[in-house]
Chain A
Amino acid sequence: DQQVKQNSPSLSVQEGRISILNCDYTNSMFDYFLWYKKYPAEGPTFLISISSIKDKNEDGRFTVFLNKSAKHLSLHIVPSQPGDSAVYFCAASPRGAQKLVFGQGTRLTINP
């Protein structure tokens, strides 16, 4: 049972444009959400997070939006840069727990 889903395995975006990565979840106990970026042969690195009490969190070029009623979150990257090319994982944490539940990842490619 995949509780966190990233339905797009890959996404290709032109440099300078906006990249939008989507993530859906099913467990209403999740109350903290994170995005990680992963390069080949490296571990995931933390990008940005959002608590369920918020609907938006911004950090530089990265913004995460949370729609609790739709159980949907998205990561916006603008403007997209070639160095943003990587696999992006969304993750969710249940209330009162330390564990992270990951999505399958989306491979983002930024084209010059």
Chain B
Amino acid sequence: GAVVSQHPSWVICKSGTSVKIECRSLDFQATTMFWYRQFPKQSLMLMATSNEGSKATYEQGVEKDKFLINHASLTLSTLTVTSAHPEDSSFYICSAGQGTGGPRTTDTQYFGPGTRLTVL
């Protein structure tokens, strides 16, 4: 099946620094990638949707200047948490969609293993 990787799998950083998380689709081209955030014992919350070559669409309440998303190619999207603070500590997970990128008919989102971010 389709494989999506994330790097790093975990990161610890100091408050005020920026952290970049990579999401790669290894064996397919992803026209759309999604970034989610999960707090302990809570659901995955969609942060933004990115299409290759265009600006990301952010969900309500998500600061686009704080969470920079770049989808430079059909196999790579990056999420940069700028000036990270302890409240940004969370589990960040990406997914990649084939075809039109939506969860319809043959389209499904393939998820990466996630990145655990801890901000001290």
- A residues near B (Cβ < 8 Å) are 2, 4, 9, 32, 34, 36, 41-46, 49, 89, 91, 93, 97-105
Known contacts A36-B111, A44-B111, A45-B111, then 9 further A-B pairs from the complex at CB < 8 Å, ordered by chain A residue: A9-B41, A32-B104, A41-B113, A43-B4, A43-B110, A44-B44, A99-B46, A102-B45, A103-B43
**B36 (CB) vs chain A CBs: closest residue:** A102
Contacts of B36 in A (CB 8 A): 102
Given contacts A4-B43, A43-B93, A104-B42, contact A98 B101 (CB under 8 A): yes
B32 touching A98 by the CB < 8 A rule? Answer: yes
Contact between chains at A100 and B109 (CB < 8 Å): yes
Residues of A within 8 A of B95 (CB): 43
Cα of A99 to Cα of B93 in the assembled complex, Å: 14
Chain A residues positioned under 8 Å from B97 (CB to CB): 98
Q: How far is the CA of A44 from the CA of B4 in the complex (A)?
A: 11
